[in-house]
Amino acid sequence: MSAASRTRVRSNSAWSLEQIEAFLGESSIPLRLSCNAGKGFPSLNSMWFEYRDGSLWCATHASSAILGFLRADPRCAVEVAPNEPPYCGVRGQANAVISREGAGELLERLIARYLGDTNPGLAAWLMSRIDDEYAIELRPTWLSSWDYRPRMTASP
């Protein structure tokens, strides 16, 4: 059974799992990741991601606060949605699995996806720290979507 087939889609979701996966696969906007930061307050982070094998994958540096937060409590929430209308997107909850394995290759793919060749200075700086990168696999427990495009683009 694949990870995607274990993901529960909420009954009120505007899209099916297949539509959610297509959206996540095509989206090159950062995801919003919320986790427990301790002391009673959540932390909200924007992160580059790729959707692969039923999971959302992010890379982060060893010195990032999010790494410590997710190690202490791997439960988190995610959202992928554009900031501009018409509004649509995917949100859900996940469990984070942290690993050094494949982190460098993941970072390279994320740089290509989000930067391309538009900012070689930033890409070089990120790659200079590759030995201290971690992969974060976000394994969704449930996902849901909303899609306001039909009613926002409808003519009066």
Domain locations in the chain?
3-150
Q: Hey, which residues does 75 pair with through a beta bridge? A: 95
SS3 content of the chain, % helix, strand, coil (to 5): 35, 35, 30
pLDDT for residue 82: 94
Pair 102, 110: CB distance under 8 Å: no
What pLDDT, on a 0 to 100 scale, did the predictor assign at position 155? 59
What are the residue ranges in the chain where pLDDT is below 70?
1-6, 154-156
Tell me whether the omega of the peptide bond preceding residue 86 falls within 30 degrees of 0, making it cis: yes
> pTM for the full model?
0.90
Q: Give the pLDDT confidence score for residue 132 in this predicted structure.
A: 95
CATH of domain 3-150: 2.30.110.10
Average pLDDT of every residue of the chain: 92
Contacts for 113 with CB less than 8 Å, ≥ 6 apart: 28, 48, 50
Q: For 69-106, what is each residue's pLDDT tens digit?
A: 999 999 999 999 999 888 999 999 999 999 999 999 99
